[in-house]
Amino acid sequence: MKAKKKQLTFIDKIFLWLNFFLCACLLLSYLAPVADPAKYWLIAFFGLAYPLFLVGGVIFIVYWLLRKSIWVLLPVICIAIGWSVLNKNIGFRSGSTPTTPPPSNDIRIMTYNVHNFKRYGAKNDASTKKEILAIINENQPDIIGFQEFYSRRHGQYDMVDSIQQILHTTNYYFEEFEHNSTEAIGMAIFSKYPIVAHGLISLSDDKTSGNQCLYIDVKKGVQTFRVYSVHLQSIRFDPEDYRYLSMVSGQGKADMGSTKRLGSKLKIAFIKRSAQVAKIKDHASACPYPYIISGDFNDTPSSFAVNQMSKGLKNAFCEKGSGLGRTYNGDFPNYQIDYIMASPVFDVMDYQIIEKRLSDHYPVCSDLVLK
């Protein structure tokens, strides 16, 4: 090792110190899944940046390989230490796409944040709505949970009626958070199976907030199971925040005031999601049936919220997903933030992210079998 150090050039030494710094950041990011943001909020930011640290580690591996240096072991070992975190972010398998229609024994679950059936930042347009409905029609989920669900009482934007017709069902639960005499926004779950019970777990003191949790108990033959549809705390970036992010990514220009504003919003969201997950897990612990938790978690696979939620459950992406698993396609960096998780008595048969850019989220679909 000493002989190698003597052979390092000045540039090599700079890269080595940068590599040490990057590895320290990587190791800190591995604490994010177990460090409660309410106590250790700074660690959550390292977890959020894990993909960037990972890419940096790969770049250093290539650099040291080209230099034929033993220092290549430094980033290799640091990445290997976080192998479990890596597997939650990247699916190292060929993947398994749901068939159409699903096998009769399977329960096809879909979760979709439809952003009020419009493209992000745009007004309602019939073409986007039509394409979203086409996805639902093609995949024919047995149960689908919607976040940011919009419906009018009558007309072409009566989405409740449209989805009932597509799925050939009258079974649904729509919780309206904002409404008037002509339209409503909230969360909804539609089921091809009879709904025998339903309820709302309030995650916010603001009754108009879309960050809530619904659940339905459904009966499939002689089996009863529960489905939770969640929408955890949003970051609530404003247009000026997105403009700032675009400026930083495009021009590399940053200012302290805007950075602190974004950091504060992220910190608040990390902490709120932690408390919301605890509330949902507490409710689920008293559930007398096997259950599925799906929805928009607004957090990454390296986060405390996602890892707490997945405890004791099968994560459909980790079971059958492949590749990067990105489910968000909006202006903020594209991460996996939508999930399907199930009690161990479910077998995960397949998993798919339907990469059609309509809403700012991709729909996620998985076939499960209740043993």
Query: For residue 217, which phi and psi values (nearest 5 degrees)?
Result: -100, 125
% of the chain exceeding 70 in pLDDT: 91
User: With bands split at pLDDT 50, 70 and 90, how would you rate the model's confidence at 4?
Assistant: very low
pLDDT at 6 over 60: no
Q: How far apart are CA 273 and CA 1, in angstroms?
A: 46
Q: How far apart are CA 81 and CA 107, in angstroms?
A: 36
Strands (E), 180-316: 183-191, 195-201, 213-220, 223-231, 291-296, 314-315
Higher per-residue pLDDT: 259 or 213: 213
Residues 286-307, mean pLDDT to the nearest whole number: 97
Do 164 and 248 touch, CB atoms closer than 8 A? no
* pLDDT, position 253: 66
Cβ-based neighbour number of residue 21 at 10 Å: 11
pLDDT at 7 over 90: no
Query: For residue 331, which phi and psi values (nearest 5 degrees)?
Result: -75, -25
Q: How far apart are CA 151 and CA 149, in angstroms?
A: 7
Residues 86-99, mean pLDDT to the nearest whole number: 84
pLDDT (tens digit per residue) in 233-279: 998 776 676 666 666 656 556 677 777 888 899 999 999 999 999 99
* pLDDT, position 261: 86
* pLDDT, position 81: 97
User: With bands split at pLDDT 50, 70 and 90, how would you rate the model's confidence at 315?
Assistant: very high
Q: Which domains, from first to last, does the chain contain?
A: 10-89 (no CATH), 106-370 (3.60.10.10)
pLDDT at 57 over 60: yes
Q: What is the crossing angle of helices 37-48 and 256-285, to 10°?
A: 120
Q: How far apart are CA 296 and CA 300, in angstroms?
A: 11
Taking CA atoms, 91 is separated from 297, 341, 351, in Å, by: 19, 16, 11
pLDDT (tens digit per residue) in 106-124: 999 999 999 999 876 566 7
pLDDT (tens digit per residue) in 141-154: 999 999 999 999 99
Do 25 and 49 touch, CB atoms closer than 8 A? yes
Do 285 and 313 touch, CB atoms closer than 8 A? no
- The candidate with the shortest Cα–Cα distance to 150, out of 158, 138, 142, 141, is 158
User: With bands split at pLDDT 50, 70 and 90, how would you rate the model's confidence at 73?
Assistant: very high
Q: How far apart are CA 150 and CA 118, in angstroms?
A: 10
User: Which residues make Cβ contacts (< 8 Å) with residue 243, sequence separation at least 6?
Assistant: none
Q: How far apart are CA 21 and CA 49, in angstroms?
A: 14
Per the prediction, the chain carries an average pLDDT of 91
Query: What is the Cα gyration radius of the chain?
Result: 22
* pLDDT, position 99: 73
pLDDT at 2 over 60: no
Query: For residue 267, which phi and psi values (nearest 5 degrees)?
Result: -60, -45
* pLDDT, position 3: 42
* pLDDT, position 1: 41
Cα dihedral 147/149/333/24 (nearest 10)? -20
pLDDT at 344 over 90: yes
> 291-296 and 223-231: which strand pairing?
parallel
Which residue type sits at 126? A
User: With bands split at pLDDT 50, 70 and 90, how would you rate the model's confidence at 280?
Assistant: very high
Residues 164-171, mean pLDDT to the nearest whole number: 97
Higher per-residue pLDDT: 333 or 292: 292
Residues 188-209, mean pLDDT to the nearest whole number: 95
